[in-house]
Structure 1
Amino acid sequence: MLSTLSRKMLMCLTGLFLSFFLLIHFLGNLQLFLPQEQAHLQFNTYSHFLSGNIIIKIVSYVLYASIILHAVDGLIITIKNRKTQGNYQNDRRARASKWYSRNMGILGTILLIFLVIHFQNFWYVYKFGSIPLDSNGNKDLYILVVTVFKEWWYVVIYVLSMIALCYHLIHGIYSATRTLGLFHPKYVKWFHKAAVAYAVIISLGFAIMPVYVFFTAK
């Protein structure tokens, strides 16, 4: 059985890996903002490269494992905290902490549900569905993205999930500095500002993508 410290370290390391993956995924998806014809072919070429690269495949397995470990570990930590602390709302620390730090389990659950929907709509269809080919002979993932992002309900779910992601990242990255021993009272506000800046840029950027495609793609 893992100790509480080991679980926190596992949560920290998987969380940081997922945060790094988000950055790479975000940079790749910026191609959606290119002029539509260019975005169409370039995004498909990029996706084809990723799907056929052995290193990316290995990273993808680490990604899947990290998501599962992060979710399971978070659930266990949340349950243990509830048992040891009793009614957290009556704890003095609750009044000093942010609401999102007290509800990381809820935010994480929202994100996990979103990931299931997201993987089903994109990863599963791309891997196992019947997708037409573009003029370069690559699977037309861009058309799939446009088709999904043209559904207003999915755009709403996506944007709301990115709001949850933002708060999850703010607390998660800030907490990771403490777990790794990087926390220092002299620099605490800078760690917090860095976490907020990263969370807002990533989450806002992702949230804008489906909105942009919904209103501009033909």
Structure 2
Amino acid sequence: MGNFSNTFSSSLGKKLVMSLTGLFMCSFLVVHLVGNLQLFKHDGGLAFNTYAYFMTHFPPIKVVSYLLYTSIVLHAIYALVLTMKNKKARPIGYAVTNGKANSPWTSRNMGILGTVLLVFIIIHMNTFWAKYHWGGVPYKKYVIELQNPEHVQVTDLPISSVEPVHTDAVDLQSGSRVVIAKDLYLIVQNAFESPLYVAFYVLAMAALSFHLIHGFRSAFQTLGWDHKKYIPLIRFIGVWGFGLLIPIVFAAMPLFFLFKTFS
């Protein structure tokens, strides 16, 4: 037990924790992105609200969510500790040759990028997750024709002291499927009508891009999974997948709603 504790309290141990939690959060980003793509559907928020209910009520997903929250906290704490330790060990800073630092810009500014992302996560969780659970979110009723699933009738339900529960049932008499769901889609739509919030969101996605470009490959290096045979693939996935594609698609969501507001 002592050796285990000593391992994870060392600099290498902290880097291992950061690598594992970072890769775990990368996998969650992919799942979160797939779910959030439902925002682009023209169904009044049916697909997205159904996804939101599943993500907050399916037991295995709830367990993964708590692991994610723990990972975020550990990743942030260990990053802060390592940054402070590195500053003490290198008070003068990185050497500069011919006007250029010896390390990449992303490597030298991971602390700043991480801080921007941590602030973003806190605001993001308060805007959507906390409001979804405790903010008195209104409900919507969806009536989907079984013969023509593309035809969806949407009705706003008033907020009452006793909120309706999520239901999803088939009415054979009317030949339709009836869904009543919390309208998180409306909360998202309202949030992304603010140019200031959208600008902050896009800035955070830019920080995420730079953070992932450096962090993804560094995690594999720390874990020893950087065999020269796989380095090109890791670099490709890190740069083009996590560094560019995922942040760009995430940034497209608030811009999509903002442009709809002004169109």
| Alignment TM-score, normalising by the size of structure 2 | 0.78
Once residues 96 and 16 of structure 2 are traced to their aligned partners in structure 1, the CA distance between those partners, rounded to angstroms, is 25
- Structure 2's unaligned 5+ residue stretches are 1-5, 142-178
- Structure 1 counterpart of 2:36: 29
Once residues 120 and 55 of structure 2 are traced to their aligned partners in structure 1, the CA distance between those partners, rounded to angstroms, is 22
1:50 partner amino acid: M
Once residues 182 and 56 of structure 1 are traced to their aligned partners in structure 2, the CA distance between those partners, rounded to angstroms, is 28
- Structure 1's unaligned 5+ residue stretches are none
The structure that is helix-richer by fraction is 1
Matched, 1:17 2:24: yes
Q: Alignment partner of 1:121: what SS?
A: helix
- Structure 2 counterpart of 1:7: 14
RMSD: 1.6
Matched, 1:99 2:95: no
Following TM superposition, by how much is the alpha carbon of 1:39 offset from its aligned partner in structure 2, in angstroms?
5.0
- Structure 2 counterpart of 1:56: 61
- Structure 2 counterpart of 1:125: 131
Q: Deviations for 1:101-127, whole angstroms, at most 9, x for unmatched residues?
A: 111000000000011110110011001
Once residues 83 and 190 of structure 1 are traced to their aligned partners in structure 2, the CA distance between those partners, rounded to angstroms, is 35
Between the two proteins, what is the percent identity of the paired residues? 45
Once residues 51 and 109 of structure 1 are traced to their aligned partners in structure 2, the CA distance between those partners, rounded to angstroms, is 27
- Structure 2 counterpart of 1:83: 88
Q: Alignment partner of 1:134: what SS?
A: strand
Describe the shift of the 1:96–1:184 C-alpha distance in structure 2 as closer, same or farther (beyond 3 A).
Answer: farther
Q: Deviations for 1:93-148, whole angstroms, at most 9, x for unmatched residues?
A: x7232111111000000000011110110011001111111103211000000000
1:14 partner amino acid: T
| Alignment TM-score, normalising by the size of structure 1 | 0.93
Which structure: larger Rg? 2
Matched, 1:46 2:51: yes
Structure 1 stretch 185-194 or stretch 14-23: which is displaced more? 185-194
Q: Alignment partner of 1:182: what SS?
A: coil
Structure 1 stretch 149-158 or stretch 185-194: which is displaced more? 185-194
Q: Number of residues paired by the alignment?
A: 215
Once residues 237 and 139 of structure 2 are traced to their aligned partners in structure 1, the CA distance between those partners, rounded to angstroms, is 42
Q: Alignment partner of 2:136: what SS?
A: coil
**8 Å Cα contact 1:100/1:168 also seen in 2:** yes
Once residues 60 and 197 of structure 1 are traced to their aligned partners in structure 2, the CA distance between those partners, rounded to angstroms, is 26
Q: Alignment partner of 2:180: what SS?
A: coil
Structural mapping, 1:195-210, within 5 Å:
195-198=238-241, 199-210=243-254
Describe the shift of the 1:172–1:132 C-alpha distance in structure 2 as closer, same or farther (beyond 3 A).
Answer: same
Higher relative contact order (CA closer than 8 Å, sequence separation 6+): 1
Following TM superposition, by how much is the alpha carbon of 1:187 offset from its aligned partner in structure 2, in angstroms?
4.5
